[in-house]
Structure 1
């Protein structure tokens, strides 16, 4: 599913072209290439030897990201890896180290950062519009059926999914909130598996304390039928902004400033169905990779950036297991 989103995004970006596709299933590789273009491969070494291939987009289960990303980097290919960067910090660090060793670029997908209203919010925060930050709350109250988890043997497993609602669905906004507000100092959390037959959580609740003194509530779930648009609420001494599915719903400040549209209609959300997420966000990030290679700079979201939300999520899981506050390094 996510590989098709990448292919659609690549097709829409000037300067990008899909030249090869790899799958262990020959029929799937051939079908994908027939739909989106490129040469189909079933052998990783042959795939990486393709001289037309510059960037490898890793769209396999999360726990296999390093398995494919490390050899791609060591073969001299730039790498774009889906979220989360990996399911453990050790595996993430191996992927980061391989890209450094090979001198290639490593980008981690977090397409929510590129949404226009999220970019406006980032600028407002950087410009000091909010004043002292007080709170930052994130709610990802999504819905996934049991059939969703049963559709692939890796879904809902610690080994390859890394976790549940927080690691798979919530990771985007864990990344966004720490990028907007700043580093997380500590977490206190509980998790539950309440509505699905899976080994990982379908509900996670956490209290975040940020290094700048702000606090936040984080809720991620896949049990809220029928699935509610994700919501981000940030309050400072001067006012409040609320994003719902990436669109402003509230923008209120004590002093007059820039006006923003707060009735822009529904945003892009996978709250009800993962297939509802558009490829536009991926297109923004693929365009950034094209610019990265042309300009000789780092991608907007590096491997080190992608490690940060993983560290926060791992701390939340540790807090839930040990029933105590966990301080991040």
Structure 2
């Protein structure tokens, strides 16, 4: 590290890597892009030239030998995240990992073992957790401002064409995608639902492959029991044409919270008995105020239509965690919970039984 700036490497130069590059560039006061890596040399060279990286690699283990690198953004197919994160830990590198952090219990446990009880920082990319309205809603629920929490429902109803799945050999496979509409697309929304409800306890579910020619599910339905004593449902599909989007609704004793699109609202009855709708997306903290530009994120039809605002916050947060020895915004155990919930849903669908969530 030179002059207080952390040197970052991007591992995997696919679609999502651009969000990480933009986030690193937006934090140029404390982070700079040093290296990129992809097994396809042409993609690595192109990314290095486009993003201004000092070095490019085609072998990530060779890249990890470079002592100049402080942290690695892992942007590869999901089923590779675990082994790559473990190798980063062995090399003494901090990690910012795209969702899901991996797709099997074995790999999740490997990551936990590699990072816990070390000085290394691990951050999961769940950018919805950086949205000011959702952060405010989380505090309201934790503080009991809305009374008892009864029901938490959510859905992710998006469109992914047959061409989307054919665009990369790993898409729609159990080994590398880890699942379909839940593990790839729905995980962000499911994470917010579980986060607001204090975590999930168990799942009863059914998944289907109704139309796409893929190994994994394109449609799923789940009944969930939550740690706060509430119950709810989650629906996921990649067949909604045109794409509808995502939504989470929390029904409480004294009102309800609704997250839809990029905004969070509180619905309640005021002292006069009138129903009111309050937008919770006020910018409350200095860190969020510095980087929140409220880009509209709409990936219902196009997975590349992704705002980099959340990634910008998460890169900044990881840098601060490294420089100031603080916890990351989405730590390792938080980042794995949504995966554990999805794995419980898959098991429930196979066994037709209620399955308890591992974490």
Q: Secondary structure at the match of 2:320?
A: helix
CA distance in 1, matches of 2:335, 2:135: 18
Q: Give yes or no for the alignment of 1:189 onto 2:198.
A: no
Q: Secondary structure at the match of 1:274?
A: coil
Question: What corresponds to 1:143 in structure 2?
Answer: 159
Q: How many residues align?
A: 328
Structure 1 residues 21 and 128: CA distance shift in structure 2, 3 A:
same
CA distance in 2, matches of 1:69, 1:40: 19
Question: What corresponds to 2:230 in structure 1?
Answer: 214
Shift of residue 150, structure 1, vs aligned partner: 0.4
TM-score by length of 2: 0.87
Structure 1 residues 102 and 43: CA distance shift in structure 2, 3 A:
farther
Q: Give yes or no for the alignment of 1:3 onto 2:6.
A: no
Q: Secondary structure at the match of 1:209?
A: strand
Q: Give yes or no for the alignment of 1:33 onto 2:48.
A: yes
Q: Secondary structure at the match of 1:162?
A: coil
Q: Secondary structure at the match of 2:245?
A: coil
Q: Secondary structure at the match of 2:228?
A: coil
2:34 counterpart (8, 19, 31): 19
Q: Secondary structure at the match of 2:31?
A: coil
CA contact (8 A) 1:26 1:42 kept: yes
Question: What corresponds to 2:333 in structure 1?
Answer: 304
CA contact (8 A) 2:133 2:281 kept: no
Shift of residue 255, structure 1, vs aligned partner: 4.7
Q: Deviations over 1:226-246 (max 9, x none)?
A: 101201111100001211123
1:63 counterpart (79, 93, 97): 79
Q: Give yes or no for the alignment of 1:131 onto 2:147.
A: yes
Question: What corresponds to 1:235 in structure 2?
Answer: 251
Q: Secondary structure at the match of 2:23?
A: helix
Shift of residue 44, structure 1, vs aligned partner: 2.3
Q: Secondary structure at the match of 1:18?
A: strand
CA distance in 1, matches of 2:40, 2:240: 35
Question: What corresponds to 1:204 in structure 2?
Answer: 220
Question: What corresponds to 1:110 in structure 2?
Answer: 126
Gaps of 5+ in 1: none
CA contact (8 A) 2:295 2:309 kept: no
Q: Deviations over 1:112-151 (max 9, x none)?
A: 1001211121122122122100111101001000000000
TM-score by length of 1: 0.94
CA distance in 2, matches of 1:216, 1:281: 27
Q: Which structure's residues are more often helix, by fraction?
A: 1
Gaps of 5+ in 2: 1-14, 283-293
